[in-house]
Chains A and B, each alone.
Chain A
Amino acid sequence: MFGKKTLWIMLIAIMLLIVACGPSDETSENEDNTGEDSSETENSGDDSEAEGDEEEITLILWHIETGPSGEAIEAAVDRFEEKNPNVTVEVSQQENDPYKSQLSVAMGGGNPPDVFHSWGGGWLKQFVDSDQVVDITDSVDASLYNEAALSVSTFEDSIYGAPVSMDVVPVFYNKEIFEEYGIEEPETYEDLLGIVETLTSNDITPFALANQTKWTGSFYLMYMAERLGGPELFNEAFERSGRTFDDEAYIEAGQKIQELVEMGAFPEGVNGMNYDTGQSRQLLYTNSAAMMVMGGWLVNNVRDEMPEFEEKLGFFLFPSIEGGEGEQNHVVGGVSPVFSVAKQSEHPEMAAELVNELASLETATQLSNNAGSISAVNGVEYEDPYIQEMSDILESSEAMQTYYDQTLPPELAQTHLDTTQAIFGLSMTPEEAMAEVEEKAKEVLAE
């Protein structure tokens, strides 16, 4: 008797639980509604505009810009709110690495921001494929933007995001150290190896690198692979047309990195150092390391952390390798931020307006002049000679390689990053590493 009754009550309790957990069902219904077709989302957009006169609209924006770049975003939001007095934008500034999981949880949980940041590429495409991103081809003016920049958020001729800034990855160096040892900017890889030898024999770490962060080491692999295999190598491997990720060029690129590691070109324990806590930059600032392959944002970091270092900072492009197919003026670079509208937004048209304001000439100008990034919007006049120079490099370069880890689908990107770290740690041979990437590529890209 006793037992039976408790059992019943427990059963009822469990039923209650299941009912209590209903919200997840509701959100999935919502997803279905918003995801049905574009005409419906347009309708809901019209509704919101009609309501706009009486009702307050709140848009949520997630971005990851800090310092002066963050201020540029805030300024764009202020302009937008002035133009649309009935709209309030809740700006939420997120931290770089956790942001990625934050957004996927929000998307999956049915509660994403209306407008969100991305880097375009494979990561954004993941959300596009899951039908979470609004096609904004009709609401943005494609002619405003740099073609290469727009291409990272264009999938099958539809635009899913508007780019604001771009970055180039040169080799930064300490002019003072170069002068002291009579070193010239290298033009060939042989020159670079000579520099590495000169520096190590004088107890200076040639390259400052913090590779716990992984994407930092990926720059070296991308450049080596491009210089050896040419600008089409990655595209062929990615599109599964021609060469593959275990191509000889990739293996040789890995070997070249390990050769550098063995020469002592990187600091002790690179794989335990974190870029975000400034561990590689400290080596640069204290004159204990001479060079650093890093995105243009390094200038921004320097101005923030040690402004007096800026006058010592010079840069050159990664040299070409003799016998390789790549050229010195081919650059690795990327686009960030790209702003997109979430499908689950209740006011997609308003949100697209906000994207237009965020990716406007004004924002891009402010970002370029205050935060040191190259504009993805055409027609910006640069005040900063650094940025002007980098922008010129980008314009004169014949090919731009976008970051692997943001172009590839996330799972494959992770394999690329993990194996590259293992190459730096000498715990995998280049052959093993590239075979693992190729195997994952076959699995992921076949779909």
Chain B
Amino acid sequence: MERTDDLKIVKVKNVPKRKNKDTWAIIGFIAPAFLIYGVYVIYSIFMTFYYSLFDWTGIDSNMVFIGLENYIALFRDGVFWTSIQNNFLLVIASLFTQLPIGLIMALLLFSPIKGMRLFRSVYFMPFLMSTVAIGILFIFIYEGNYGLLNSVLGVIGLESLQTAWIGKESTAIWAVIATVCWQFAPFYMILFRATIVGIPEELYEAADIDGATGWQRFKNITLPLLMPIIVTSAILSVIGSLKYFDLIYVMTGGGPNNSTELMATYMYKQTFTNFNMGYGSSISFAMFIIAFIVTLFILFGDKQRKGNDS
């Protein structure tokens, strides 16, 4: 890296005209994307922060500047802390269930079982369904009185485990998280499968000649070559979980008694149900900060890993 930088500086000093041309070309290519990014991302983040400094209903012109009071209230708000906790539960559950299950499914698709094409479609199906449909489907599966899950538990003699899955504060968040994982594992399966397809056959042939077992082949060839895509998946999964909204909104609406509230659903509730645009914006902005810090951590960790590799 350093060497190329040096080179550039030398170049710049020698042929300044060339540099100008490049600059305009670069700007020309970046400007359209930057404009869109600016309007929809940078400007929005800035405005969110701006609104969060006001006591404002969001529907009238009467905005009262209250400085950081929304943030002070936020720190004292128990529901907000519950929602952060739930978000991190979701992050952990996503990382440690969606990715491994996606990987296992991807590996299964390479095993010499008959009818693999059918399984490929079946495995991918959950990801193709609309979130609202999934939500309603699982509401009925989890239903406490005549739901599918309880019926199955009854049939196999586990009546003691029967409960109202999304009606109880203690189980609701787990029931929804399980649904989220069910929906998104196939997405990672497709990513992993595409990468595995790209691994050269020769490596496996060489391993066979050396007498490697199946596990050794996986550990020493497949996994290392999958690492970059696993890191990308982890980032997607973490950010996705921190911003998650859909299934919670459809299945529990944040209830019962706020036990499944996420930052995004709580923000929605405050902004649009309670008419607290200012407070809602401060939740939004806090979400942004949290997601930002977490992303920095992951990127930093990944950099360390790459450093160790070389």
Closest to B164 in A: A269
Does A425 belong to the interface (CB within 8 Å)? Answer: yes
Q: Which residues of B contact A21 (CB under 8 A)?
A: 39, 43
A283-B145 Cα distance, complex, nearest whole Å: 9
Q: What is the distance, in angstroms, from B103's C-beta to the closest C-beta of chain A?
A: 32
A418-B252 Cα distance, complex, nearest whole Å: 13
Mark contacts of B46-74 with chain A using CB atoms, 8 A cut-off: 1 yes-contact digit, 0 otherwise. 00000000000111111000000000000
Q: What is the distance, in angstroms, from A13's C-beta to the closest C-beta of chain B?
A: 6
Q: Determine if A17 and B43 form an interchain contact, defined as CB atoms under 8 angstroms apart.
A: yes
Q: Determine if B165 and A272 form an interchain contact, defined as CB atoms under 8 angstroms apart.
A: yes
**Could you say which interface size class chain B belongs to?**
35 or more
Mark contacts of B270-282 with chain A using CB atoms, 8 A cut-off: 1 yes-contact digit, 0 otherwise. 0111111100000
A127-B23 Cα distance, complex, nearest whole Å: 52
Q: Determine if A274 and B139 form an interchain contact, defined as CB atoms under 8 angstroms apart.
A: yes
Q: Determine if A28 and B61 form an interchain contact, defined as CB atoms under 8 angstroms apart.
A: yes
* Total A-B contacts with CB atoms under 8 angstroms apart: 140
Does A5 belong to the interface (CB within 8 Å)? Answer: yes
Q: Determine if A267 and B257 form an interchain contact, defined as CB atoms under 8 angstroms apart.
A: no
Interface segment among A51-59, A98-106, A296-304, A353-361: the answer is A98-106
Q: Determine if A410 and B274 form an interchain contact, defined as CB atoms under 8 angstroms apart.
A: yes
Mark contacts of B106-139 with chain A using CB atoms, 8 A cut-off: 1 yes-contact digit, 0 otherwise. 0000000000000000000000000000001001
Q: Which residues of A contact B61 (CB under 8 A)?
A: 28, 31-32, 35, 130-131
Closest to B12 in A: A2
Q: Determine if A418 and B23 form an interchain contact, defined as CB atoms under 8 angstroms apart.
A: no
Mark contacts of B161-175 with chain A using CB atoms, 8 A cut-off: 1 yes-contact digit, 0 otherwise. 001111111001000
Q: Determine if A279 and B35 form an interchain contact, defined as CB atoms under 8 angstroms apart.
A: no
Q: Determine if A269 and B272 form an interchain contact, defined as CB atoms under 8 angstroms apart.
A: no
Given A269-B167, A272-B172 in contact, is the A2-B23 Cβ separation under 8 Å?
A: yes
Q: Determine if A104 and B145 form an interchain contact, defined as CB atoms under 8 angstroms apart.
A: no
Mark contacts of B260-297 with chain A using CB atoms, 8 A cut-off: 1 yes-contact digit, 0 otherwise. 00000000110111111100000000000000000000
Set A20, A100, A267: member contacting B39, Cβ < 8 A: A20
Q: What is the distance, in angstroms, from A98's C-beta to the closest C-beta of chain B?
A: 9
Can you name 14 A-B residue pairings with CB atoms under 8 Å? Answer: A13-B31, A28-B61, A104-B58, A104-B272, A104-B275, A126-B57, A268-B163, A269-B144, A269-B167, A272-B167, A288-B145, A418-B257, A421-B256, A422-B256
- Known pairs A17-B42, A28-B61, A126-B57; list 16 more (Cβ under 8 Å): A2-B19, A13-B35, A20-B35, A21-B43, A101-B271, A104-B58, A268-B144, A268-B145, A268-B164, A269-B145, A272-B144, A272-B172, A279-B143, A286-B146, A422-B257, A427-B257
Interface residues of B (CB under 8 A from A): 12, 19, 23, 27, 31, 34-35, 38-39, 42-43, 57-62, 136, 139-140, 142-146, 163-169, 172, 252-253, 255-258, 268-269, 271-277
